[in-house]
Every structure is written in structure tokens, then in C-alpha cells.
Amino acid sequence: MSRIPTPDLSALAAAQARQQQLTKPAGSLGQMEDLACRLAALQGREVPLPLTPAITVFAGDHGVCAEGVSAFPQEVTGAMVANFVHGGAAISVLARVNQARLEVVDAGVAASLDGLPIVHAKVRAGSGNIRREAAMSAAEVQQALDVGRNAARRAIASGATLLIAGDMGIGNTTPSAALICRLGKYSPEAIVGRGTGIDDAGLALKRQVVADALARVAAGLDGCGVLAELGGLEIAAMAGFYLEGAAQGVPLLLDGFISTAAALAAQAIDPAITPWFIASHCSQETGHQLALAALGLTPLIDLGFRLGEGSGAAAAIPLLQQAIALHAGMATFAEAGVAGKN
């Protein structure tokens, strides 16, 4: 496993000093100032360079769908993968408008996706039913992590300097909720939400399914062990994507509920990853704010998103680019001949 570097504190200090000299009251650009300084530390430069984003959407199916936890049938996963590559999905549009590389990876879709122009890296055809059994074996977790690591390597080799992981998997809010409960030490009532739009009876069932899954799993497991018991193939691949991106010194822009569950799993595997996460938005999905709190992150925007796919992160890309542009392009008081604060 590659060692994850630490952010450059000297670059951070230099960026913070520059912010104090720009022609504005200190702190008047709020989170945009902090964001520019964080990116400076992650790039190791007083003035960070504009970002080249890459989005990788990982797809997988979930045996827990047999418990009736989703409003949509499992077949939708494969159909949406086809929609991604044909350009009709939200993430397809957002990738185009942000000039971001988009790759779709089959990490464990139940259906055959032969013939689609995607990365075919299926570990197995869907994960186990976490209410009754482990999602994956220990070996399958490692395979799924490697699927994500390889995807990060491809994105970085293509020139990416910002990585976004998206998800597609009917039923995947259930294992994500289980992971967040276990790793963040929360109750199902605090975390489990309506996902694709289940009714009150469905929500009660889903909470019970997560509670049963949590009760089934032994204490004392490491991050990979928890991921094997409660995760999913695409979630494990996302965790591997994050771990490899951080190891190569590339910032990681988190999306929503599933993305944050994968981030918590990656953090449990290697806590050194935490400074490389940037939270794009707060999802409407119940428990996402608590999941972000478990990572110590504050989201940049809250637009009521709950789609997944990487869509909330993609929508936030312009904010990161603007934070860098402001930091780089504004004049200092000395340059502008403007009197500073008394």
C-alpha cells in the first residue's frame, strides 16, 4: 500500500498570508478563502493551479434488494449505466459542462453489460444480502479496492488533478447507511433515509434491515473487515479510488451519501487520507450531515441534491475553480495602491 502524503503546511501558511494581503476585508470571501488555502496545501503551492477534474462512476448491485429496501427494481442499475455512456444522465451532462473526463466502471452489476463502452471489472455479479450474510469475502474486498485503485491511476495518468467518485447501484443507500452507522457510531434511526423514495412502511423496514445487519457483524473488525460485511462492490471500489488518489497527492471531492460512506471506509483503512477529502455538498438523504461530521467536513453547498452519480460534486467544481482564480488573480493592497486595514 502506498503511503499517503501529508498536506504542505508551508504552502498553506504562504497561501493564508497571501489571503491577508488581497484587496478585501480578511475573511470576506468566507469558505472560498479557506478552500483556496486548502488546495494550496494539497498542491504544495502558494497559488494553486486550476484543476483538471476526472469523474469515475462505479456501478454495482446489492443482494439486500431482496429485502424490499428500494422503490426501484435492480434492473435499473444496468439501464442507468447504459444511460451514462450514451450521455443522457445528469452526470453525463455535468461532466460535459465542466470539461471533466468521465469513466464508468462495472465493479459488480448483476446483469451482463457486454458491449457497452465501459471498464469491465466485475468482481462478482452483485454483493451478498447484508441482512443475512457478508457483502463480500475478504478476497473480493481486495479485488474491489484494486478496481478503484486502477481507476484512479487511469484518471491521474490522463492528467486529472481532482478526483470525483460517483456511484450507481439500486439499493446502495442501505449498505451505505450500515457503514456510516458502524464507522460513525450512529443509530439506524439517525442515518437511514428514504433513498429512491420509499414510503413510511418501507423506511421502517429499511431501518430494521440495517439494524439486523449491524447486529450480525462482530465487534473489533478493521476497515476492510467492516467493508466486507456491510459494504458493496462499487462502494469498496470507491474507497480504493480514494486511497490511491490520496497516495498520489490528488485532492478528492466527495459527492453525497454513498460517496461519504466510501470515504469513511477508506478512512478506516488508512486515517492519513482524511485531509485529502473536500465535501462538495450536503445531500437531502437522512444522515449525510452526520456522516460528514464523522469525517470532520463542512459541505460547500446545499442544493437539495440526493441523486448520487457524482452529481453534487460535479456541480461544485466551478466553486473550486473560482476559489483558485480569486486567490491567484486578485491584486494585493500593495499592487493596487489601496490602503490596507489600520
Active site residues: 309
Residue 225 burial (10 A CB sphere; 0-12, 13-18, 19+): middle
Decide if 151 contacts 105 (C-beta within 8 A): yes
Decide if 77 contacts 109 (C-beta within 8 A): yes
Identity of the residue numbered 274: T
What letter would DSSP give residue 162? E
Gyration radius (Cα) of the chain, Å: 20
Spatial distance between the Cα atoms of 148 and 268, rounded to a whole number of angstroms: 16
Spatial distance between the Cα atoms of 316 and 292, rounded to a whole number of angstroms: 16
User: How is 294-307 classified by DSSP, letter by letter?
Assistant: HHT---SB------
In sequence order, the 6+-apart residues with CB closer than 8 A to the CB of 196 are 70, 71, 72, 170, 173
Give the closest residue to 290 by CA, choosing from 194, 182, 191, 174: 191
